[in-house]
Amino acid sequence: MAFPTGSVTTDNLDAATDSPADARADLLLTVQKLNLMIGSYDAADGIAALDSNGLIVNTKLPDALQSSSGNNITMNPNTGVVKINNILELTPRTVAQLNALTGVEGQIAYCSNGNAGAKCLAVYDGSAWLRIILGTAIAT
């Protein structure tokens, strides 16, 4: 059930001289839109249900975030820290792809050929991508 759109008119409801007969249609439309809103509670295209902490339940959140406007997605918590509980996966980029970007100081990337053809991490320092050479394999 879709969330209702459009405004509710008050043309026949806002003056003491308004006719109750004329107001009936406006009131009916208002109640119908209210019922649509109630019916859209916790629906896919309706109002999000909140848990007891006032948060959207994680099963209702998407598995991926993608900007539809071509802009970056920004996370800006009040603590100043974005916490990732597991593994961060970076899409490999080539030197040419990284150099074609308008970098911002502090960006980090995984470069597939940035260490004389070998894989490395890269950090943008405000003017260039600098490589961080990968070491030896992890071991217990």
Q: How does pLDDT run across 60-79, given as a tens digit for each residue?
A: 888 888 888 888 888 999 99
Residue 70 covered by a domain: no
Q: What is the pLDDT of residue 67?
A: 86
Q: What is the pLDDT of residue 82?
A: 94
Q: What is the pLDDT of residue 140?
A: 92
- E-state strands within 1-140: 108-115, 118-124, 129-133
Which domain does 52 fall in, by range?
Answer: 1-62
Shared-domain flag, residues 1 and 56 = yes
Picking from 11, 34, 62, the residue at the C-terminal end of a domain is: 62
Please list the ranges in the chain whose pLDDT falls under 70: 1-2
Shared-domain flag, residues 53 and 95 = no
Residue 50 covered by a domain: yes
Instruction: Identify residue 89 by its one-letter amino acid code.
Output: E
Contacts of 29 (CB under 8 A, 6+ apart): 8, 9
Q: What is the pLDDT of residue 96?
A: 98
Q: What is the pLDDT of residue 1?
A: 64
Shared-domain flag, residues 83 and 135 = yes
Tokens of 105: 């100081």
Picking from 14, 36, 62, the residue at the C-terminal end of a domain is: 62
Work out how many domains the chain is built from and give that number.
2
Residue 107 covered by a domain: yes
Residue 68 covered by a domain: no
Residue 72 covered by a domain: no
